[in-house]
Amino acid sequence: MGWSYTCAMTQKRSDTIAETLEGMILDGTFADGERLDETQLAQRFSVSRTPLREALQRLAVSGLVEQQPRRGVFVRQPGPVELLEMFEVMAELEAACARFAAVRISDDALAAMRAANARCQAAVEARDADGYYRENEHFHAILYRQSGNAYLEQECRRLHRRLTPFRRLQLRLRGRLAQSMAEHEAVVAALEKGDAQAASDAIRSHVAVQGEKFHNLMASLRSAAE
Amino acid sequence: MGWSYTCAMTQKRSDTIAETLEGMILDGTFADGERLDETQLAQRFSVSRTPLREALQRLAVSGLVEQQPRRGVFVRQPGPVELLEMFEVMAELEAACARFAAVRISDDALAAMRAANARCQAAVEARDADGYYRENEHFHAILYRQSGNAYLEQECRRLHRRLTPFRRLQLRLRGRLAQSMAEHEAVVAALEKGDAQAASDAIRSHVAVQGEKFHNLMASLRSAAE
DNA sequence: CTTGGCATTCTTGTATACAAAAATCTTGAC
DNA sequence: GTCAAGATTTTTGTATACAAGAATGCCAAG
């Protein structure tokens, strides 16, 4: 065995493999329906099939790959319909966060959201797409946390992470950033007033519109392909 | 190998093991924090450690067990706080279903919900707890389906399943069944009118754990711990 | 009697070996 | 030339073997 050089071992080999594979699937390194060959991947990661299989099992539970018995595992990228559905659910989950946060949010967190928004605005003006993206993530992360419900927060992070590659696309659309900023402001305003209904409505339409934008983008891409 | 008798093999050995273990954890066969010994369980299921480990991996991703590296896996029953959080999320997810269903539900499905309610009522009058439980499940299943969002439906089923053992505890309360029935009726009425707000509010308060239900849940948890 | 250090044991994590099922290739008949 | 059935090969699923880290117990020193 070729150990000896890297025996830090703070986490299992299969953990890092699962993480790496998850990243590769989310990045789109693997196409939809592509078969993930165990022996091939094992060689590539310089491990035996055992830890690799464990990693694949985990991905299968997460829904990133589908496991057909005695056939192999195939990457399972969400289609247009499923993506829309996931965005819909994301919108509802964040609306739930806002509902709770309207009553539970702390002054510090409100200030933090405002600060994140300000940095977002600065990024927009500086045409700093990455900066905008980072602060946008931060804004939503605060909202999840301020729901005061750790389970809800966790579920939100999970789905948010899953949708990451698709969210990035629609930010390229012209004028979307300014509109998105305004929506963020509306959310904060409603939270400040403690208006649960307004806050949840604001964040719901903010997230839902992302799904619709994405859908439009897909449609235009599809028609362009023909 | 001791096969020979049951080689149907429509699914993997590790699949059935995972299912069985999941059931045992949900049933409360294993106490919170209990360590699941690999070799011991392997002997019990008459398999090697390999498929058993794969099953445990899956449970770990589902969150039913926690895996501490180089230490073992420990069952992780939700505590009171997490339980409340999960019920909160369940309420919000079902509220989302109702929101969508108010616009999307079919006449057939509406009729099916009314029929389920009628059978529920009959079960109440016949003091048939199991029958009530079954039809209640059916009612909620229809709601999930009629959200018209397969992803949402799936997430609802997942959490619903996770909460099953704790939901059963609540139904024993005297008078709870009649109240629950009335709430179901309110949901159907709102869906029939296409009133998304009313429907989501009705189902949310139906599922949410508040007031007496809260105390009941806490009491049953406490007594279950002893 | 308590406590710290060391050795042993036990368990997990990984590698390899083997068996069964599916996929592929070959060969023969029409 | 095409199609089908059998053989071969590939690949998954499981079992076993081995290595490394953690837990436990033992012994000695204070």
Nearest to A152 among B50, B85, B99 (CB): B85
Amino acid making up residue B98: A
CA distance linking residue A127 with residue B10, whole number of Å: 56
Higher pLDDT, B168 or A23: A23
Nearest to B88 among A62, A86, A152 (CB): A152
Q: Whose CA is closest to B56, among A30, B101, B71, A142?
A: B71
With an 8 Å Cβ cutoff, is A149 touching chain B? Answer: yes
Model pLDDT, residue A225:
72
| CATH number assigned to the domain with residue range B13-75, chosen from the 4 options 1.10.10.10, 3.40.50.620, 1.20.1090.10, 3.30.750.24 | 1.10.10.10
Model pLDDT, residue B179:
86
Is strand D in 7 Å reach of the CB of B222? no
For chain A residues 15-54, those near strand D by a CB cutoff of 7 A are: 35, 37-39, 49-50, 53
CA distance linking residue B190 with residue B180, whole number of Å: 16
Query: Taking all residues of chain B, what is their mean pLDDT, rounded to a whole number?
Result: 90
CB atoms < 10 A from the CB of B71, how many? 9
Q: Nucleotides on strand D with an atom closer than 7 A to protein CB?
A: 11-17, 19-23
Q: Classify domain A80-225 at the CATH topology level.
A: Four Helix Bundle (Hemerythrin (Met), subunit A) (1.20.120)
With an 8 Å Cβ cutoff, is B83 touching chain A? Answer: no
Q: What is the pLDDT of residues B165-203, one digit of tens each?
A: 888 776 666 677 888 899 999 999 999 999 999 999 999
Q: Domain limits of chain B?
A: 13-75, 80-225
Q: What is the pLDDT of residues B148-166, one digit of tens each?
A: 999 999 999 999 999 998 8
Higher pLDDT, A177 or B158: B158
Is strand D in 7 Å reach of the CB of B158? no
Q: What is the pLDDT of residues A102-126, one digit of tens each?
A: 999 999 999 999 999 999 999 988 9
